[in-house]
Structure 1
Amino acid sequence: MVLNLHTPKIALLLLTFTALISSSVKAQDPYQAYRQDWLKKAEENKPRLTEIEKQPVSMVKLEKDPAAFQGWKAVNTDSVSSFYSKSFKTQSGAVADFGEHLTGYFSFTIKSLKGTPDAPVRIKFTFGEVPSELTVPFDPYKGTISRAWLQDETVTVTEMPATITIPRRLACRFVKMELLGASPYFDFQIADIQFKATTAVAFKPPLLGPATSPLIADIDRVGLTTLKECMQTVYEDGPKRDRRLWIGDLYLESLANLYSYQNNNLTKRCFYLLAGLSADDGMLISNVFETPEPHAQVGNRLLDYCFLFNVALKEYVAATDDKQTGLDLWPVAKKQLDIARKYAGKDGMMDYVKAGKEWWVFFDWKDGLDKQACLQGLTIYTLNQTYALAKMLGKEDEVSDVPALARKLKNAAYKNLYDKTSGLFVSGTNKQISYGGQAWMILSGVASKTEAQGALKALASVKDAVRPGAPYMYHYYVAALIESGLKTEAKEAVENYWGGMIKKGADTFWEVYDPNDELKSPYNFYPVNSYCHAWSCTPVYFIRKYPEIFQR
């Protein structure tokens, strides 16, 4: 039997069925009534970027130096005015140094010096945040993320004089210029190199106390620069690479911002964007893009970032008393708690194996890190922080089960993960000991203050303890030191780790830093690392929130 789909009756039935299915799908979206308003508020809080014209401060050459970061350093060679006055043909490979990290748009002027331009000129520009980016060949590319993130651009100029602006937004301190092709019958020069630097930051934060040590002051200065460069029309995770809003970076940037630039509208914008672009099941997507129109990286679900949205929102409401934003976004925070309810076993332990199969569970760029203890601790922390948010908003009745669930998970963590013999928290079937595991057991309140201090002090004697792989996890380690009352150790940790980057010439703090492996890269090619990265800016938060620790 063959149905005639063109008969009015059959067509009507199909339309009705389709409408019912569509209605059912839409009914599953818990935020359907809110999304447009959230995205509207995100747009209303979009900052107007400040723009400053910057010129290079000197010309440099790049020299090998085993003592320099990644084996390369920049050495001053000539003035910029001298470079402008000479034939570019005799200066191919020249490197201009802006003297600071900049994010924005690069332009240059090219004009004939001798003869008549009878053919195009082709120049390759390479932009580097650190010197090694200009010295390591990009090809053949062996990285695990897009080759297109690397900042090299070839420009062909067909007429001169001309002023050219590279349309791609860039992030760099150094610019290398190489001649790829030109006619032998005329000569030309490059002049008026400029960089239109952009940021959402409009003012300088208060000065530190007069007793602050020079090293801490330098760490704060570089941290502020890192934060400033990442504060664009959203909190970007890195202005060179990724260039979008990630929840984990939002949390740490918003903390630093609260104690420095205080651009709270930018924080609000980010919250509303993430909420408005969340998945139809109510769970947050780990990251979102702004252009050509706001959209999420569909399918990129990161469990710990969903939890950190709640923590960031609670911290924001507590600091600003902006309860309206908290109330607007409360449905999102409340919904994320379903993750804890789903994976919490009857024994009170989070099923991290199942969670790891169904979600990306991150915590750190560290191969081999067992994440059971981290997940257990973060879940407890999130439950408690979300309940605190509920109390601020008068919504505690909607999450009345949360305190009991948090206690259950806390008791189970202490029972199953605390080794009373060693005084350390373990993780997974192999009883792994890690800095991250200790940090999250302490921040969640599983450890008493005495146990917390004992665990953190004992770490130094554990040879195979898994150390943080990036400044991201190192933040939580420092936070745990402060929470446990180890103030001197917290200051020393900041001085040694972020101070280590300062001593290696950092203008901004890096995405990945291992003092024992400067070439470490999660992407199998270190030039594609981000050398100005949002999650590295948090010394600003520590130094300014705890002046009694860091400014004396």
Structure 2
Amino acid sequence: MFAQDVFTQQRAFWLLEAERSKPELHKEICYPVRLVNAINDRTVWQDWRMESVGDPDVCYQMSFKEKQQVLFDFGRHLTGYLTFRLTTLSRVQDAPIKLRFIGAEVPSEVSTPFDPYPGTLSRGWLQDEIITITEIDRDITLPRRFACRYVKVELLGASADFDFALSKIYVTAQTSVQVRPSSLPESTETKIKQIDLTALETLKECMQTVYEDGPKRDQRLWIGDLYLESLANIYTYKQLSLTRRCLYLLAGLSAEDGRLHANVFEHPIPHPQTGTFCMDYSLLYNLTLLDYVKATGDMQTAEDLFPVVEMQLHHALSYVSNGLFDQHLHEPRLWLFFDWCDGFVPDASIQGLLILALNRSAELVRMIGRKAEANKWTQLARKMKIAARRAYYRPDIGLVISGDGQQISYLSQSWMILSGVLSPKEARRALENVMQSPSAVRPRTPYAWHYVIEAAITCNMHHEARKLLTDYWGGMLDKGADTFWEVYDPADSSLSPYHFAPVNSYCHAWSCTPAYFIRRYPDIFQQ
């Protein structure tokens, strides 16, 4: 325990402001568009595809006891609550009916056996629900929110003495999105248009009463996802009050020493996942606030949350010695994320991110007249740049290295570029060199690829930025994505940080940023 809570005076106000910015959820009744069967096919992504077998109305007319199971396709990804009705066909219900519902974002999720469960996350995240129904001829809504395109219904048990039909099924979909952004120009390449629409759909599904990281899993606010969602929202839906809510909510739920928790929950009352501190995510909070203020002109929020910005830098700078960030300087060791990539060495990346955060935070506080803090942070950033060049840049090979093993990775180059450590000429050379290195550590998530594309644009490597976006996100589209995924490696269809692909999130917030790139940089992506 700490001697005192550094934000004692502000917490209640911050949480009140978060509640004031809470959006209304807009709801839509969505019915299935077809019946399908899951077909095992080794030629498609994850070995499963859907085959149309008829109209849903056919199912509603027949005995479900004879049918035993049915698989509905809603035609698009939905986030919401499933409602159904069982209707008596003959005689009288004399015993409970037991049904199993499975919600799936992708075909393999409804087709892969869940048990015995091999994953490292809770088995409870899998969207299979068993319900016992004692009274029929009425609408029944499952209490659990689903995020899915497909819904499978299986009969597990029913009396032999009466018959019934599944006469209705629909999803009440929900999102806080209110309007659709404008369409791209007709001259825009078709693949770019498709990527943009799918990115918009991904963002929409994740915009609930906070920016959720994934509406299936984890259904909460993570700072890393918040940063990328807020960027995309600025250039698409422009619902910036949601960003404001999230910024205040994270501030109000920070730890007693002022550190931000990496993620927070809304229900049953707002609370953090206690003890989850991710240094790179904490620094991205400062960048998110700056972008929000620049987009809205809301200086009051900048003033209100200045103490949070200052405290994140204070904690990060406590790990700096002789101009270098040293994650081993204090115990316990820091959690640094950057990517789901085994073996990635984050030394150069966290150095670059802290430099960027210092400069962006300085820009923010200058806007509210705090010149002393701004000058201090820019001076520290300059010192860290000098130290970074000495420790991490190898001019002889034109690459950034990281760690004792001098690891070469896409992300190390990217964060040194985004922080301005490398000159424009050095930056371009580093990114070109890493792209030509077969041994370089490559990103494995859309989250990490976002920063590589940002770096490419910073280097004026516009052709490469466009190709990265169309190849990577376009690759998901080619494999059937309705929304963009949490992890994607074109060479590994079963990739999962949790050792079981069905528990992956196939509508994930940090995958939405093609809409940001396409709309912020029309000369690169719309021509």
Short-chain TM bin: over 0.9
Amino acid at match of 2:117: Y
Query: d(CA) in 1 for partners of 2:342 and 2:330?
Result: 18
SS in 2 for 1:31: coil
Query: d(CA) in 1 for partners of 2:411 and 2:266?
Result: 32
Query: d(CA) in 2 for partners of 1:528 and 1:251?
Result: 24
Query: d(CA) in 1 for partners of 2:328 and 2:65?
Result: 60
Pairing 1:488–2:463 present:
yes
Q: Is the 8 A contact 2:362 2:373 kept in 1?
A: no
Deviation at 1:44, TM superposition (A): 0.5
Amino acid at match of 1:36: A
Q: Is the 8 A contact 1:425 1:433 kept in 2?
A: yes
Pairing 1:215–2:191 present:
yes
Q: Is the 8 A contact 2:328 2:334 kept in 1?
A: no
Pairing 1:536–2:515 present:
no
Query: d(CA) in 2 for partners of 1:423 and 1:505?
Result: 39
Q: Indicate how the Cα distance of structure 1 residues 356 and 51 shifts in structure 2: closer, same or farther if over 3 A, else same.
A: farther
Query: d(CA) in 2 for partners of 1:285 and 1:399?
Result: 25
Pairing 1:515–2:472 present:
no
- Greater alpha carbon shift after TM alignment, 221-230 vs 330-339: 330-339
Deviations 1:459-506 (CA, angstroms, capped at 9, x unpaired): 232121110011110000010000110001101100000000011110
Query: d(CA) in 2 for partners of 1:356 and 1:474?
Result: 31
Mapping for residues 112-511 of structure 1, pairs under 5 Å:
112-346=88-322, 348-354=323-329, 357-511=332-486
Query: d(CA) in 1 for partners of 2:162 and 2:114?
Result: 31
Deviation at 1:210, TM superposition (A): 2.0
Query: d(CA) in 1 for partners of 2:224 and 2:331?
Result: 18
2:62 corresponds to which of 60, 64, 86: 86
SS in 2 for 1:354: coil
Q: Kindly tell me the number of residue pairs found equivalent between the two proteins.
A: 527
Partner of 2:29: 53
Amino acid at match of 2:457: I
Q: Is the 8 A contact 1:352 1:371 kept in 2?
A: no
Query: d(CA) in 2 for partners of 1:231 and 1:356?
Result: 36
Partner of 1:36: 12
Deviation at 1:355, TM superposition (A): 6.2
Query: d(CA) in 1 for partners of 2:345 and 2:331?
Result: 11
Partner of 2:44: 68
Deviations 1:43-100 (CA, angstroms, capped at 9, x unpaired): 0000000000000000000001223221101111010111111111222231000000
Give percent identity, aligned residues only: 51
Amino acid at match of 1:320: T
Query: d(CA) in 2 for partners of 1:354 and 1:88?
Result: 64
Amino acid at match of 1:295: H
Q: Is the 8 A contact 2:279 2:316 kept in 1?
A: no
Query: d(CA) in 2 for partners of 1:369 and 1:540?
Result: 28
Q: Is the 8 A contact 1:278 1:284 kept in 2?
A: yes
Amino acid at match of 1:484: C
SS in 2 for 1:506: coil
SS in 2 for 1:353: coil
SS in 1 for 2:180: coil
Deviation at 1:399, TM superposition (A): 4.3
Deviations 1:491-549 (CA, angstroms, capped at 9, x unpaired): 11000000000111100000000111111111111100000000000001000000111
Q: Is the 8 A contact 1:334 1:399 kept in 2?
A: no
Amino acid at match of 2:385: K
Q: Is the 8 A contact 2:39 2:50 kept in 1?
A: yes
TM-score, normalised on structure 2? Answer: 0.98
In terms of Rg, which structure is larger? Answer: 1
Partner of 1:15: none
Q: Is the 8 A contact 2:366 2:374 kept in 1?
A: no
Q: Which residues of structure 1 form unaligned runs of 5+?
A: 1-21
SS in 2 for 1:400: helix
Amino acid at match of 2:66: T
Q: Which residues of structure 2 form unaligned runs of 5+?
A: none
Query: d(CA) in 1 for partners of 2:148 and 2:14?
Result: 34
Query: d(CA) in 1 for partners of 2:399 and 2:500?
Result: 35
Amino acid at match of 1:215: K
Amino acid at match of 2:449: Y
Partner of 1:17: none
Deviation at 1:103, TM superposition (A): 0.4
SS in 2 for 1:409: helix
Q: Is the 8 A contact 1:352 1:375 kept in 2?
A: no
Pairing 1:101–2:58 present:
no
TM-score, normalised on structure 1? Answer: 0.94
Query: d(CA) in 1 for partners of 2:330 and 2:470?
Result: 36
Amino acid at match of 2:206: C
Partner of 1:111: 87
Query: d(CA) in 1 for partners of 2:339 and 2:372?
Result: 35
SS in 2 for 1:100: strand
